[in-house]
């Protein structure tokens, strides 16, 4: 009888315990280009001195074309400079899963920034990084309307950044966001999600943060 009561108590405890979770899905391919350091500027063309013609005709030896015209030499140098390859870092991620947030850690997640900082240090079940620093920067920029223009300096036309994230006790009891940016498209969009479904209109950072602190945080205190 004592054993049966112990099982009942355990089941009731698990049923009453509420854990906040992160439901995520990412499909990201970002190339971070950087100009090589120490790039030299092409030298200005030097005008050749004008030499007076001698009285008697002199037979001149043929010289290479590159040495006769200074502007051609400079043009070749400029072409070589332009052909220098750019260095690039590539982040590629395609993950999907759920993370259960520890109770004590959930109490410290008050804003979107806190949530992203927590998720940035997490890995998928396959051991892959879910979000890297560059993707987090993109999410923060899109979430803040005043810095949305910064995204155009990070994402290029060939990049892809599709991220779906829901935070709550269940997908049907959550707040989240969805970012859409496919390769070949210039713009990236970010919309709000609620209870696992996308909402019309732009993402509202104030509503997102208020839902975390005013609804979910109260449930775990």
**Which pLDDT band, with edges at 50, 70 and 90, does 132 fall under?**
confident
Bridge partners, residue 36, by sequence: none
Tell me the range of 4-13, 60-69, 86-95, 197-206 where mean pLDDT is highest.
Answer: 197-206
The total of structural domains in the chain comes to: 1
Instruction: Inform me whether the pLDDT recorded for 91 exceeds 60.
Output: yes
49 belongs to a structural domain: no
84 belongs to a structural domain: no
Q: What is the pLDDT of residues 138-177, one digit of tens each?
A: 999 899 866 555 677 778 889 999 999 999 999 999 999 9
26 belongs to a structural domain: yes
Question: Containing domain of residue 197, as a range?
Answer: 19-31+91-220
10 belongs to a structural domain: no
pLDDT at res. 156: 87
Q: Identify whether the C-beta of residue 121 lies closer than 8 Å to the C-beta of residue 102.
A: no
102 belongs to a structural domain: yes
**What pTM did the predictor assign?**
0.68
Q: Identify whether the C-beta of residue 99 lies closer than 8 Å to the C-beta of residue 20.
A: no
195 belongs to a structural domain: yes
Q: What is the mean pLDDT of the chain?
A: 78
Residue among 193, 213, 218, 220 at smallest CA distance from 111: 213
Q: Identify whether the C-beta of residue 26 lies closer than 8 Å to the C-beta of residue 131.
A: yes
153 belongs to a structural domain: yes
81 belongs to a structural domain: no
CA 178, CA 221: separation in Å to the nearest integer?
28
Structure tokens at 131: 């979000």
């Amino acid at each position: 009888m004592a054993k049966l009561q112990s099982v009942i108590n355990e089941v009731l405890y698990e049923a009453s315990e509420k854990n906040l979770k992160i439901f995520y899905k990412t499909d990201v391919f970002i190339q971070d280009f950087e100009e090589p350091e120490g790039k030299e500027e092409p030298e200005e063309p030097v005008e050749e001195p004008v030499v007076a013609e001698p009285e008697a005709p002199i037979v001149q030896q043929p010289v290479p074309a590159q040495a006769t015209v200074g502007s051609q030499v400079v043009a070749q140098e400029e072409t070589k400079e332009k052909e220098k390859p750019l260095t690039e870092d590539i982040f590629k991620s395609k993950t999907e899963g759920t993370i259960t947030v520890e109770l004590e850690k959930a109490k410290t997640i008050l804003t979107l920034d806190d949530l992203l900082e927590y998720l940035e240090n997490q890995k998928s079940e396959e051991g892959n990084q879910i979000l890297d620093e560059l993707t987090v920067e993109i999410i923060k920029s899109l979430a803040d309307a005043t810095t949305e223009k910064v995204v155009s300096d990070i994402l290029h036309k060939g990049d892809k950044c599709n991220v779906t994230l829901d935070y709550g006790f269940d997908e049907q009891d959550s707040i989240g966001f969805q970012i859409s940016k496919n390769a070949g498209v210039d713009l990236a969009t970010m919309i709000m999600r609620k209870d696992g479904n996308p909402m019309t209109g732009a993402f509202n950072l104030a509503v997102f943060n208020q839902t975390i602190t005013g609804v979910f945080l109260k449930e775990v205190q």
